[in-house]
């Protein structure tokens, strides 16, 4: 087992190289660069724009730029953002925890809600409960986050029960420690609801489908005919088998926790990392995008690794060596 884990982690290195080379080339080859906006500014002369290009190292040949970046990245120095002129690590760090917080909360809520509902609707297939829940699941999957976000903001405005976006209130600094916790929790409700609904809808359908397939198996019929209670049959035997595909999904979800939902963050003014990275990608703020890709790849691989380990624990049929 440990050898397998070590092998997977070592695999990260060539994978990262591949991802970064491809991304670097694609970003650089696409039209324009970070200075596009500057070029359309009548006050800034051509000479100044060229100077800036030299400052950012964008006038060097591609492979030199890449190797220079790689050499620094290996020492965990991810360079400076073109837009902000601050270290990329500071920039990402300033919002990383916010996204992680929102991600973890929505993730947890989504899973805690989706699994029981999925099991419940599988057991009562085609009843009115099942059909209603399925309908709402489809609605949940289809609603774009910006719409639900705006809708909830409007609700917040009308009722006054929730804050209109953001993560903290204006007087956050002056609150006692427990006040700060409550304030953040209050602000997390709406964005959390939007993301959770999205998560619940999909997961619940997946759980239901998976469990239905298991419940059709012969060994389930055997268990029932042995006289076991339905509850035991489902919860102790069927679910454990049905949960396999979901563990894989769990791993992917873990990897994406920190990434943030850019559109939701824009709409609700949540100070997360999604919007930052989206803007960086659009503006071609090269080093921010590269750092984000590295972090994203690493977390994805680790998330999948955790899922695979959990699979080994959960399913005795799965062994890697």
Partner 1 sequence: MGRVFARLLMMVLAASVSVTPAATAQPKFTLQDVPNPMVVEAADVGRFGGTFVTASISDPRTFNVLVAQETSSTAPLANLFEGLVETNRSTTEVEPSLAESWTVSRDGRTWQFKLRKGVTWFDGKPLTADDVVFTLDAAFTEGVQSSLKDVLTIAGKRIGYRKIDAQTVEFKTEEPFGPFLRTIGFSIVPKHKLESALKAGAAEFNRTWGVNTNPREIIGNGPFMMHTYTPGQRILFVRNSKYWRVDKRGQRLPYLARQVIEIVPNQDAQRLKFMARETDSYGARPREFAELRAQQQAGNFTIFDGPPTFSTEFLVLNQNPAGVRAPKLTWFQNLRFRQAISHAIDRESIARQVYAGRATPQFSPVSPANKFFYNANTKKYNYDVATAERLLREAGFAKGTDGFLRDSAGNVVEFVISTNAENNDRVAIGNLVRQDLTKLGMRVTFAPEAFNTLVGKLTGSFQWEAIIIGLTGGLEPHTGQNVWKSAGSLHMWWPKQEKAATEWEAEIDRLYDQAATTIDQNKRKQLYNRWQEIIAEQVPMVFFTTVLTQPAFRNTLANFSPAPLAFFDVETIYYRTPYR
Burial class (CB in 10 A: 0-12, 13-18, 19+), 271: middle
**What track of x and - describes contact with partner 1 for positions 192 through 231 (by CB under 8 A)?**
----------------------------------------
Crossing angle for the helix pair 244-255 and 286-314, nearest 10 degrees?
160
Look up residue 156 and give its two tokens.
């917040």
> Is 52 strand, coil or helix?
helix
Q: Both tokens of residue 14?
A: 């060539």
Using CB under 8 A, pick the residue from 20, 24, 33, 195 that binds partner 1: 33
Least Cβ distance, residue 65 to partner 1 (angstroms): 16
Q: What is the smallest separation between the CB atom of 47 and partner 1, expressed in angstroms?
A: 8
* Alpha carbons 300 and 19: distance in angstroms, whole number: 12
Site for partner 1 in 159-178 (CB under 8 A): 160, 164-168, 170, 173
Residue number, 92 or 242, with CB nearest to partner 1: 92
Question: With contact defined as beta carbons under 8 Å apart, do 210 and 161 qualify?
Answer: no
For residue 253, which of 294, 213, 212, 310 has the smallest C-alpha distance? 310
**Shortest separation between residue 137's beta carbon and partner 1, angstroms:** 27
Applying CB under 8 A, which part among 6-14, 61-69, 88-96, 196-204 lies near partner 1? 88-96
271 binds partner 1 (CB under 8 A): yes
Can you tell me the distance from the alpha carbon of 186 to that of 171, in angstroms, rounded to the nearest whole number? Answer: 14
Residue 132-161 contact track with partner 1, rule CB under 8 A, x = bound: ------------------x--xx-xx--x-
Instruction: Read off the tokens for 219.
Output: 């060994």
Residue span binding partner 1 (CB under 8 A) among the ranges 1-9, 31-39, 227-235, 247-255: 31-39
Tokens for 63, please give them: 């492979």
Query: What is the contact surface with partner 1 in residues (CB under 8 A)?
Result: 30-33, 36-48, 51-52, 55, 80, 83-87, 90-91, 94-95, 98, 150, 153-154, 156-157, 160, 164-168, 170, 173, 265-272, 275-276, 284
């Amino acid at each position: 087992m440990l050898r397998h884990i070590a092998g997977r982690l070592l695999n990260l290195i060539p994978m990262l190289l591949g991802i970064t080379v491809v991304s670097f080339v694609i970003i650089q080859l696409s039209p324009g660069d970070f200075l596009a906006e500057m070029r359309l500014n009548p006050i800034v002369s051509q000479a100044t724009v060229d100077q800036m290009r030299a400052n950012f190292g964008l006038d060097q040949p591609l492979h030199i730029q890449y190797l220079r970046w790689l050499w620094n990245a290996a020492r965990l120095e991810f360079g400076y953002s073109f837009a902000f002129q601050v270290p990329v690590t500071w920039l990402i760090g300033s919002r990383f925890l916010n996204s992680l917080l929102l991600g973890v909360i929505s993730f947890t809520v989504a899973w805690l809600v989706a699994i029981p509902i999925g099991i419940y609707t599988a057991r009562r297939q085609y009843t009115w409960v099942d059909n209603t829940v399925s309908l709402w699941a489809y609605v949940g999957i289809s609603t774009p986050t910006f719409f639900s976000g705006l809708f909830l903001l409007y609700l917040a405005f009308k009722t006054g029960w929730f804050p209109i976006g953001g993560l903290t209130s204006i007087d956050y600094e002056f609150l006692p420690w427990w006040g700060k916790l409550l304030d953040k929790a209050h602000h997390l409700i709406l964005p959390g609801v939007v993301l959770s609904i999205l998560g619940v809808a999909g997961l619940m359908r997946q759980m239901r489908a998976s469990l239905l397939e298991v419940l059709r198996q012969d060994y389930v019929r055997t268990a029932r005919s042995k006289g076991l209670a339905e509850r035991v049959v489902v919860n102790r035997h069927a679910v454990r088998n049905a949960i396999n595909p979901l563990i894989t999904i769990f791993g992917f979800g873990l990897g994406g926790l920190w990434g943030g939902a850019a559109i939701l963050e824009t709409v609700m003014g949540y100070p997360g990392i999604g919007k930052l990275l989206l803007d960086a990608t659009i503006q071609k703020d090269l080093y921010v995008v590269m750092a984000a890709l590295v972090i994203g790849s690493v977390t994805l691989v680790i998330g999948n690794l955790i899922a695979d380990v959990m699979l080994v624990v959960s399913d005795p049929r799965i062994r890697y060596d």
